[in-house]
Amino acid sequence: MMAAALSRALKLPGKKTHDFGEYDPLRQADSDDSADDGDLNYQKNGSLQTETTVEAVLHRDSSSVVEMQALKVKQFRSDQPSSAEVHATEVSDEFTLKNRTSFLPCLRTAAFLLTLILTMVLVLVCAFFIPCPENHTLNTSWSRSLGQAAGFPPVITLWDVNGDQVSDVIISFSSAGKVRDQRGAFSPQASESVVALSGADGSFFWMAQAPERLKFIHCGIGHTAGGEGTVCLLVGVNHVLQAINSSSGSSFWEVKNIYPSRRTPNAPPVQLTDLDGDGFTDVLIGSKPATLTNRIRDVSFVFVSGATGALIGQPVKYNVTGEGKLIGPKAYMLGEGVLYVLFGYGNIRAVSVKDIYKLANAKSSLPPSLQTEDPILKWKREGDLPGVLQLYSGDGSVRDLQTLTGPGGNISDLLITTRKRLQLLRGKDLQQAWQVDGGSIESAPVAGFFNEDRVPDFLIQVTSENSTRKSLVIDGSSGKELWQAELGCRRQGLQAASIALADGRSAFLFWAGECGTKLSIPSVSSDQDNQYHLFLLHPSYPQVLLELATHSGPVTASATGIWEQRKDAFHVAVTTDSSQATQRSHRGALIVTSVGLKWAILHSELVMLKGEAVSDESIRIFFSELRFCTEVQ
């Protein structure tokens, strides 16, 4: 009986002992809400069952056991929260946590959008206030008319006026005009003007009146006080020297009667260091008599302050013998840092700047830049003239002199051109390296790099005895002929140039008159006799010339500039349009024309010289990829 009662007490409906792992519906229901709650209830229920069983065994009464068990279960359930309440509490806590965590992405999104909006506003503000650089088209060719020419040759120089790293055009010219005399009648009179044109598109920067007809324009002797431009010197043909601001054309100072009476300058100013201690570059100007009468010729030198135009000392005059035109004055630097001035009538003489300064400022001490000791020279002294040395006196009259800076920049070679000879003197000892004879050299040689030996070569234009015109390229290291072409032209321009290329060589430009069939150009009618053509020669295709431009009148001045940002170059030519000449005046309008080389190459005409045929397409592809630069790399 006792065993049966105990067995019934232990086997309650719906309950199994956990030792056998039987199904428990209460535990299963709780486990649906939370596994942890199921484990907790299972442990508590098991503890309760064990307690009840022990009590039943002790009292030996099954009914009492049942009643006590019911009370225990009721008390237990009243003390513990139900599974639904537990689940509701957990859901509430989870909802609160999710609300807190879902707020952080919203905050991040708002911060990102705010940053993006501020960045866009800043970009728009910068784009509005900061101007974009001008995007010039590939066609950099332009033409400007400067009015009726007065017959005097213009003076042209290239200089960056507005600081855009493109060389601009500064040109002085004489324009025809009329002035009213005391009787009220008009008489023709030429006025002198200086104009600055943009090298990019030909637009006008400024225009100013010149005090007299100019002989030279020399820029870059110093910066202005505000740093907004540089100083350019306008050198008059008779007696005026003026300094202007390159960016505006306004005058800084003007000095009249800069030379002794009835003299004219012969060369651009020689730029020196600061001599008078005012912190500004000074210059040395040489002049010659306006009229030459005998074999005894003189050259006068004067030091001028770049800051004020005041003379530094007195003029110094040297009487020298010789025939022909005056050469120089031209600066020449020796390896020891001593600056010499080269000059002469048909020959070449040298005198140090220090000796000239001593004569101009007898009682003044030498400035620091002139205190370097002179080297021991083997040149022959020129008579009794103090400090004058005889550098060259050949059998032909010198027509052009060029100084060529060698490696290191300390020693310069001298290239001497006479009427029928081209001669190179080495700078280290001034001994002849080579010479080229034959023909009549019409123009000054143009230095460039035709081959790859890194030694400058020279383009010259000569006329043979049978009046055949040809162009030559002479090797700078040996004097041998590297290239020639018999152009067969009736006339040739004198303005040639070379442009540095990115591959270390040079392209050569030269003008030629109307040519015949020898250049594979069709014959032209007689009304085109005055046409001039601009040709380009490249060392990679010596059998081909590119005709870049054509003008109907003679080229009176020209210059070549570089557009560094675009690796392009341009050629500026000054001509007179004869088609606009009036009945009273045979002079036409003065025209300034600039040709962008890359654009001109795309529209050029190919001129085939003697040699093997080359594909036109391959030539044009090669030339279209040329890159021009300021100096040889």
Q: Please, which residues have CB within 8 angstroms of residue 470's CB and are 6 or more apart in sequence?
A: 439, 461, 462, 464, 484, 485, 486, 487
- 155: tokens are 């003076």
Can you say how many angstroms the Cα of residue 300 is from the centroid of all Cα atoms in its chain?
Answer: 38
Burial of 162 (0-12, 13-18, 19+ CB in 10 A): middle
Name the DSSP class of 307: T
Name the DSSP class of 21: T
Question: β-pairing, 398-405 with 421-425?
Answer: unpaired
pLDDT attached to residue 330: 92
What crossing angle do the helices spanning 25-33 and 83-129 adopt, rounded to 10°? Answer: 10
pLDDT attached to residue 466: 67
Nearest to 150 by CA among 585, 591, 492: 585
Q: What number is the average pLDDT over the span 39-54?
A: 42
pLDDT attached to residue 433: 93
- Indicate the residue type of 629: C
- Indicate the residue type of 567: K
Per-residue HEC secondary structure of 316-352 comes to EEEEEECCCCEEEEEEEECCCCCEEEEEEECCEEEEE
pLDDT digits (tens, 9 = 90+) for 470-526: 889 999 999 999 999 887 655 555 678 999 999 999 999 988 765 443 444 433 333
Q: Compute the distance between CA of residue 84 and CA of residue 76 in angstroms, rounded to an integer.
A: 16
Q: How many CA atoms lie within 13 A of 24 on its CB side?
A: 22
Q: What number is the average pLDDT over the span 423-428?
A: 87
Radius of gyration of the chain (CA): 48
Assess contact for 507 and 570: CB atoms under 8 A.
no
Write out the H or E segment, with its range, that includes residue 79: helix 62-79
pLDDT digits (tens, 9 = 90+) for 536-587: 999 999 989 999 988 877 788 899 998 888 889 999 999 887 665 544 445 6
pLDDT digits (tens, 9 = 90+) for 65-108: 445 555 444 444 445 545 444 444 554 555 455 555 567 788 88
pLDDT at 409 over 50: yes
- Indicate the residue type of 512: A
* Helix, strand or coil, per DSSP, at residue 146: strand
* Helix, strand or coil, per DSSP, at residue 117: helix
Percent of the chain topping pLDDT 70: 68
pLDDT digits (tens, 9 = 90+) for 238-297: 889 999 999 999 999 999 888 877 889 999 999 998 898 888 889 999 999 888 777 778
Q: Categorize the per-residue pLDDT at 315 as very low, low, confident or very high, splitting at 50, 70 and 90.
A: very high
pLDDT attached to residue 203: 92
pLDDT at 375 over 80: no
pLDDT digits (tens, 9 = 90+) for 139-163: 578 999 988 777 788 999 999 998 8
Cis check: omega of the bond before 329, within 30 degrees of 0 = yes
Q: What number is the average pLDDT over the span 595-601?
A: 92
pLDDT digits (tens, 9 = 90+) for 181-203: 456 554 556 688 999 999 988 99
Percent of the chain topping pLDDT 90: 32
pLDDT digits (tens, 9 = 90+) for 325-334: 889 899 988 7
